[in-house]
């Protein structure tokens, strides 16, 4: 069992509920996402779709509204499955819901489109999981997934460390959430367009440990999906000026142009508020190494001196290539960690409170059709 499942099953929770009271707006937001991924409504219509780990299916309801031929959903958590069954109770004509893990799923066919959102980055065995998904996808099929890496969750990882300190002696889960919501509400207040409750956000990111596995960069995903062409990405950070007749026709070279750009843009993922100029890829490789060290330090110990030392290195690495506000946020985090981490101090942070990473990026891939190509 992975970090998500063991945590969700221990407390029988599914902390990924979304506020979809304004369903039309929810649909419009999802339409925007799919558009950026090169997948408009018509791509889903009359197709066999598989979604892995949909939770209660709040996003799946929109995908279903595009009119697939069949919609198969695999959700192993007890609470997620319960919500999913409920959300689809009047729509189950061509919907097949399985209460099991992908690893247990016995497929009888391949699918045109596979969606797996907010799951793979939290797994420790990412490669094996992606192999199973690839075996279920038809040639020319589309696979939509999320990535999330050590740079894009840097500020959330610092919050995770602060949360660990705040709740380390608390047993009761509700009490933990209460303390965290109280401490971090002033931070979450700065996020526009949030559709999850603060308590779900705190449970998922600050109480559960899956975020400490979030080391799957866009480039890692491209490596793992070697026989696929990139179709789209959200946020849409790449350029490609090539005339289509001059584009490479094999997946490796076709995707390489994106991988090279990613290395020069990686620091842009650290703080969603700003867009920075590209920089030397070596600085970004160093940045990602430090961010990974930070995750390891938090996972294996709560050695405050080591954590502050890594944050200082990250500050130096970013110094001349990033906005002043981002540096002030890191400095303020160092100050609080050095001094003492308390709910009041966290609540009253002036710079760190609005610093969040870009979190997850979505990528869509098209599977190579080996027979044809
Ligand atoms: C963080 S939640 C994301 C839920 C939803 N996709 C979203 O983006 O809001 C991860 C989901 O993956 C499910 N999950 C965990 N391990 C799984 C596995 N091995 N196979 C299928 N689903 C899994 C969890 O139960 C949970 O519902």
pTM value surpassing 0.85: yes
The mean per-residue pLDDT over the stretch 126-134 comes to 96
| Least confident interval from 11-25, 117-131, 320-334, 354-368 | 11-25
What spacing in Å lies between the alpha carbon of 53 and ligand 1's midpoint?
A: 3
Token pair belonging to 10: 């221990």
pLDDT at 111 over 80: yes
What spacing in Å lies between the alpha carbon of 257 and ligand 1's midpoint?
A: 31
The mean per-residue pLDDT over the stretch 284-296 comes to 97
Instruction: Give the number of the atom of ligand 1 that is nearest the alpha carbon of residue 8.
Output: 25
pLDDT at 174 over 80: yes
The mean per-residue pLDDT over the stretch 40-47 comes to 95
Distance CA 203, CA 20 (A): 20
> Which protein residue's CA is at the shortest distance from atom 25 of ligand 1?
77
pLDDT band at 264 (very low <50, low <70, confident <90, very high): very high
pLDDT at 60 over 80: yes
pLDDT at 79 over 80: yes
pLDDT on residue 90: 86
What spacing in Å lies between the alpha carbon of 184 and ligand 1's midpoint?
A: 24
Q: Candidates 99, 119, 213: which one to mutate for ligand 1, based on the most atoms within 8 Å of Cβ?
A: 119
What spacing in Å lies between the alpha carbon of 252 and ligand 1's midpoint?
A: 29
Q: Candidates 6, 61, 76, 216: which one to mutate for ligand 1, based on the most atoms within 8 Å of Cβ?
A: 76
Topology of the domain covering 3-149+215-228+360-367: Rossmann fold (3.40.50)
The mean per-residue pLDDT over the stretch 135-143 comes to 96
How deeply is 213 buried, as exposed, middle or buried, from its count of CB atoms within 10 A (0-12, 13-18, 19+)?
buried
Question: From residue 78, how far is each of 7, 53, 211, 342 by CA, in Å?
Answer: 12, 12, 21, 34
> Which protein residue's CA is at the shortest distance from atom 1 of ligand 1?
118
Contact between residue 287 and residue 151 where contact means Cβ atoms under 8 Å apart: yes
pLDDT at 106 over 80: yes
pLDDT on residue 236: 93
Q: Candidates 5, 13, 18, 53: which one to mutate for ligand 1, based on the most atoms within 8 Å of Cβ?
A: 53
Instruction: Give the number of the atom of ligand 1 that is nearest the alpha carbon of residue 116.
Output: 6
> Which alpha helices (DSSP H) does 271-318 contain, by range?
281-300, 304-318
DSSP 100-125: S-GGG---SS-EEEEEE-S-GGG-S-
Q: Candidates 50, 55, 200: which one to mutate for ligand 1, based on the most atoms within 8 Å of Cβ?
A: 55
Domain boundaries, the chain: 3-149+215-228+360-367, 154-211+277-354
pLDDT band at 19 (very low <50, low <70, confident <90, very high): confident
pLDDT on residue 301: 77
pLDDT at 372 over 70: no
The mean per-residue pLDDT over the stretch 77-86 comes to 96
> Which protein residue's CA is at the shortest distance from atom 14 of ligand 1?
53
Token pair belonging to 230: 């990139």
Q: Give residues (CB < 6 A) around ligand 1.
A: 2, 4-5, 8, 14, 16, 52-55, 74-77, 80, 101-103, 117-119
The mean per-residue pLDDT over the stretch 46-62 comes to 97
pLDDT at 93 over 90: no
Contact between residue 50 and residue 136 where contact means Cβ atoms under 8 Å apart: yes
Token pair belonging to 277: 């100029």
């Amino acid at each position: 069992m992975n970090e998500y499942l063991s945590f969700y099953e221990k407390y029988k929770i599914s902390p990924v509920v979304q506020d979809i009271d304004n369903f039309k707006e929810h649909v419009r937001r999802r339409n925007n996402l799919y558009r950026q991924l090169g997948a408009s409504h018509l791509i889903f219509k009359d197709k066999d779709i598989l979604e892995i780990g949909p939770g209660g299916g709040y996003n799946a309801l929109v995908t279903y509204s595009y009119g697939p031929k069949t919609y198969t959903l695999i959700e192993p958590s007890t609470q997620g499955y319960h919500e999913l069954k409920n959300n689809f109770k009047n729509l189950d004509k061509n919907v097949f819901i399985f209460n099991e893990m992908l690893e247990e799923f016995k497929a009888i066919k391949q699918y045109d489109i596979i969606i797996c959102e907010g799951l793979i980055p939290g797994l420790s065995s990412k490669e094996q999981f992606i192999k199973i998904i690839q075996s279920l996808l038809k040639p020319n099929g589309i696979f939509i997934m999320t990535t999330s890496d050590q740079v894009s969750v840097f500020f959330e990882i610092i919050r995770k460390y602060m949360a660990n300190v705040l709740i380390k002696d608390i047993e009761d889960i509700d009490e933990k959430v209460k303390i965290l919501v109280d401490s971090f509400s002033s931070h979450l207040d700065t996020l526009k367009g949030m559709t999850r409750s603060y308590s779900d956000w705190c449970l998922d990111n600050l109480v559960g440990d899956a975020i400490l596995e979030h080391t799957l960069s866009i480039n890692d995903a491209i490596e793992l999906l070697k026989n696929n062409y990139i179709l789209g990405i959200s946020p849409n950070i790449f350029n490609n000026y090539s005339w289509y007749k001059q584009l490479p026709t094999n997946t490796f070279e076709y995707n390489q142009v994106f991988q090279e750009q990613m290395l020069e843009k990686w620091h842009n993922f650290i703080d969603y508020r700003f867009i920075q100029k590209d920089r030397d890829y070596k600085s970004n490789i160093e940045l990602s190494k430090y961010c990974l060290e930070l995750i390891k330090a938090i996972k294996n110990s709560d050695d405050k001196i080591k954590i502050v030392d890594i944050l200082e290195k990250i500050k130096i690495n970013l110094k001349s290539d990033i906005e002043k506000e981002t540096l002030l946020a890191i400095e303020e985090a160092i100050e609080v960690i050095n001094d003492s981490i308390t709910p009041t101090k966290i609540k009253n942070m002036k710079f760190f409170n609005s610093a969040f990473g870009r979190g997850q990026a979505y990528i869509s891939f098209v599977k190579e059709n080996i027979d044809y190509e």
